[in-house]
Chain A
């Protein structure tokens, strides 16, 4: 057979189904792209590969049973779910939590931020082809997971915060271990910087890729580090302080260009910020001797008074929120999970990739930290 007959020709523009099995797509997610040669002319999301019906399941479980369920909503950073759900319960019921519980929760949230950002660096390393970054970041993330295991008993889904505080106090010597790990991480991050800053590939592929302005970002529902990469200092930890953030001293990290490099650098610099915040928290925890929980209820099944509350917090992906309605019973009446990816993927990605090269698609997807589990829910 002549080779000419084996060649398949396409009529452009053509539909290209990207994901969910594609290694360049992060998570179980797919896009249908209309491409003309290498150029993308239209994009559409195909969600649903990860739908687990959390909102329905939550209505059928008691308040405390739900705490074992909700971390699964966001895989890389499960603690934001635990915090937002419990804070919503406390807000409806009017329960105050002791200062120590606030500090411990903030420690957990900041550790989760570092661990999720290391995962982000790892995925970006894979996207640009700097594989040592991927392997180092995943390796170093394990030291954070070790700390989580010592504190909560679990590595990924911690099920640690409950209404009124946290399940148990910090073990003896754990704060010293945390300090050691932070020191180790600081040293490692310098090596990351050398690897990334000296790499012409990283700079060439990320600088100037898919830039956005603050107005465009807010129009498309962009939140979190992606918004801060456009130069506006909007951080919910500062604007709507929760946990112990109003007692901590920190500056909001921003970059001004709004491109993939700026988004990368905001996250890289926020790891430094988290390390600094954790050191402040260690000092506060050493001086504090309040209890780790104030439980104004007993038993495994309790009622929450009738009411509703929305709690949103700053996750590494953007604004993460829980809107909880209670009818005064043992179960929530309705729980709504607000994930940042619903806007980032469904509104932003469908618009921003138009006119981009197909080869850059995976990097753009990665640079916005698209995380499908909170969209599918």
Chain B
């Protein structure tokens, strides 16, 4: 199958727009409007299943982005085909207030650990993947999921002083924080970057 055929097949079968922003990259988004949550989930699963059948054999990743201003999480399913060869990224928007979703671990085995990671870092619940509710790389985590945009690591450190480090890290953290402030126009020599 060639890239053009993939684009056409997904458009014909699911009625979705497939964009190709760069060579060997395809993006498709499950629309957020006009469908119930159940229908959208089923569409995602059907699309992933169909992609696997037409040659996207390798699940590269599942990851999430927190668009806090829009009130949504964006899940990204990255599928790679060795034969076409192209990467297809399927995007799925979730409500940020109620991030409940279903697993795809029965279609793609690697989803087991990727969903576990997304659950721990963003708090998205994947119904049907028992592993996703177990701790992954964090131990005894007692705050909001850390990769959400409203999690403040410096505040967390102030509330949870480090035990057994042999020194107090706060003065150092405060110093780093000062350096992390956005540079002003004077500091960058009037250069506003490539887009100016």
Contact = CB atoms under 8 A, between A and B. Distances in A.
A319 interface: yes
Given A312-B60, A325-B65, A305 B195 contact: yes
Interface residues of B, number: 49
Contact of B182 (A56, A302, A330): A330
B90 interface: no
A31 interface: no
Interface residues of A, number: 52
Chain A contact residues, majority secondary structure: loop
Interface in B82-109: 82, 85, 87, 89, 108-109
Interface in A44-94: 47-48, 51, 53, 55-56, 60-62, 91, 93
B76 A347 contact: no
A301 B187 contact: yes
A221 B58 contact: yes
A342 B113 contact: yes
Given A48-B137, A55-B147, A305-B195, A310 B112 contact: no
Interface string A288-324: 0000000011111111110001101000000101010
A328 interface: yes
Contacts of B21: 309
Contacts of A218: 57-58, 82
B167 interface: no
B110 A56 contact: no
Contacts of A347: 109-110, 112-113
A234 B194 contact: no
B1 to A, nearest CB: 15
Contacts of A95: 194
Contacts, number: 122
A300 B19 CA distance: 34
A302 B193 contact: yes
B136 A48 contact: yes
Interface in A323-368: 323, 325, 328-330, 333-334, 336, 338, 342-343, 346-347
Given A303-B193, A319-B60, A221 B183 contact: no
B125 interface: no
Nearest to B182: A330
Contacts of B78: 310, 321, 323, 338
Given A312-B80, A342-B117, 12 more contacts: A47-B136, A48-B135, A60-B153, A232-B82, A239-B85, A297-B191, A301-B183, A312-B60, A321-B60, A321-B78, A323-B78, A343-B113
Interface of B: 21-22, 24-25, 57-61, 63, 65-66, 76, 78, 80, 82, 85, 87, 89, 108-110, 112-114, 116-117, 121, 135-139, 146-147, 151, 153, 180, 182-183, 187-189, 191-196
Task: Give the 3 A-B CB pairs with smallest separation, nearest first.
Answer: A303-B193, A221-B110, A346-B113
17 contacts: A56-B151, A93-B194, A218-B57, A220-B109, A221-B110, A240-B24, A297-B194, A300-B183, A303-B194, A304-B193, A309-B21, A312-B80, A319-B80, A338-B61, A343-B110, A346-B112, A347-B112
